[in-house]
Amino acid sequence: MACFVATLGVIILSGFINLTAANKDTCDFHAAFGQSLTLPFVYEGLANSHVLRWTHNATIILYKQQGKVSVGKSEDITTTGSLLLKNLQFSSAGAYQGTVLNPNGTLAKTWTGRLCMMDKVSKPQLSYICDPKSGAVNLNCLVAKPQGLVFSWTLNEKTLTSETRQTLSISLAQLKGESSFTCTAANKVSKEKSDNVRPACKSPVPPSICFTSKAVVAVLAGGAGLILLLLIIIIVLCCCNIRIKTQIRRREMRMLPLNKREPDFINPEYETMHQTEDSPPLRHNSPPGSCYENVSQPEAQTENRSLQLSTAAEGQPSPVPKPRTKSPQTANI
C-alpha cells in the first residue's frame, strides 16, 4: 500500500513539473528587438491607497505605494495599472506579473503573462530563374533566417492564396504580357515586402535541328544510292516482264500453225471415201447416180481408169520380185 501511494505521488509530481515546463514554453506576447509593448493589465478604481507591484521573473521592476513610485518610473504605468515596456531587448523575455493590494494588505487583483522576443523580418529579395526545358519560371524569396516565417505571393497585385512557400513556380503559358511578382515574409512581430519583379522569360521555342556538313553529305549520298538502287530494281523488273511476254508470244506463234491444220469441219466426200468399220454407213437422200452428175468429165474418166486397174489387179496375182543376179566378172586381160 505504501509503495502504491509513493508511486502515485511520483506520477502526480511529474505531471505538475511537465505542466509547469509547458507553461514556461507558452508565449502570451511576442515582441521584436527595440520595440515597445504595453502589458494589458486593467484595474478600475486604482487609487493612491492601493499598492501596485510588477515583477519580471520574480524580480520587482515597479513598486508604487501611497501614490509614490519607489522602484521604476511613474511614466511606465497607466491609470489602470498597465505596464509600458520600452526598447525591448532579448533579455526582456520572460514571465511578468502585476499585483494590486488593498490598503489592508489583502489581494485585490493579480495578472500573469509571458513575453517572447523575436527578430524582425528583413526585407526579402526576390530572384527568378527561367527554365525553358520545363517551360516555367522559378522564383525565390530570399530572406535572412527564414525559419518560422510565413510567405505570401502576389501576381499583378493579386494575392495567390494557395502559395505559402518560400519558392514559387509559374508556367510561362500563364504569363500574359509583362507580369509583376512580389513576395512577403512575416512572423508574429513584423512583416516585410519585396520589390516588384518582372521576369523577362520567353515562351519555349521548339528546338531546331542542326546538321553538320558531313551529316548533310552523308544523307545526300545515301539518298542518291537509294534512288539508284530503286532504278536498277525497276529496270530489272521491266526486262523480266518483257522477256516473259516475249516467251508467251513465241509459244502462241508455235501453237498457231497446229491450230490451223485442224479443220473446223469434215467434208462429207472425205467421210464417204474414208469410211471406217466403226463409222455408220452414209445415208443419201438423193437418187443413185446424182453424185456423178456434178463431176466433170476428166475427173470421171480418171475415176473409171482407177476402177479398171483395181479390177484387173484383183484378177491377176501380184508379181513376185526376182532376185538380182550378178554377172560374172571377166578378168581384165
In CATH, the number for domain 125-193 is 2.60.40.10
pLDDT on residue 178:
77
pLDDT on residue 309:
44
Is the Cα torsion angle 124, 125, 129, 135 positive or negative in sign? Answer: positive
In whole angstroms, give the CA distance from residue 88 to residue 72: 15
What distance, in Å, lies between the first and last C-alpha atoms of the chain? 185
In whole angstroms, give the CA distance from residue 70 to residue 85: 17
pLDDT on residue 277:
47
Cα 314 to chain centroid, rounded: 112
pLDDT on residue 294:
43
CATH fold of the domain at 25-118: Immunoglobulin-like (2.60.40)
Nearest one of 50, 188, 26 to 108, comparing CA atoms: 50
Residues 6+ apart with CB under 8 A from 55: 61, 96, 97, 99
List the 167-171 sheet strands across, edge first.
125-131, 136-142, 167-171
Beta strands in the chain (DSSP E): 29-32, 37-39, 51-56, 59-65, 68-71, 83-85, 94-101, 107-118, 125-131, 136-142, 150-155, 158-160, 167-171, 181-186, 191-193
Opening angle at CA 44, ends 38 and 45, nearest 5: 130
Helix%, strand%, coil% for the chain, nearest 5: 30, 25, 40
Residues 6+ apart with CB under 8 A from 159: 152, 153
In whole angstroms, give the CA distance from residue 301 to residue 274: 21
Q: Where are the domains of the chain?
A: 25-118, 125-193
Contact 95, 112 (CB under 8 A): yes
Q: What 3-state DSSP class applies to 241?
A: helix
In whole angstroms, give the CA distance from residue 326 to residue 312: 33
Query: Would you give per-residue pLDDT tens digits along the chain (333 residues)?
Result: 443 333 334 333 334 333 343 345 588 889 888 888 989 888 888 888 889 999 999 899 999 888 888 898 888 888 888 999 998 999 999 999 999 999 888 888 899 999 999 888 999 999 999 888 888 889 999 998 888 899 999 998 889 888 889 999 988 887 777 788 999 999 888 899 999 998 887 765 555 555 677 777 888 888 888 898 898 999 988 888 888 888 888 888 877 765 555 554 455 554 455 454 444 544 444 444 443 444 444 444 544 555 444 444 444 455 555 555 544 444 443
pLDDT on residue 145:
84
| Dihedral of the alpha carbons of 243, 244, 248, 254, in degrees to the nearest 10 | 40
> What is the residue-averaged pLDDT of the chain?
74
pLDDT on residue 26:
86
- For residue 226, count CB atoms less than 10 angstroms from its CB and return exposed for 0-12, middle for 13-18, buried for 19 or more: exposed
Residue type, 299: E
Let me know if the fold of 25-118 is the same as that of 125-193. Answer: yes
Contact 67, 77 (CB under 8 A): no
Nearest one of 185, 187, 186, 195 to 127, comparing CA atoms: 195
Q: What's the grid cell of residue 55?
A: 515583477
pLDDT on residue 205:
54
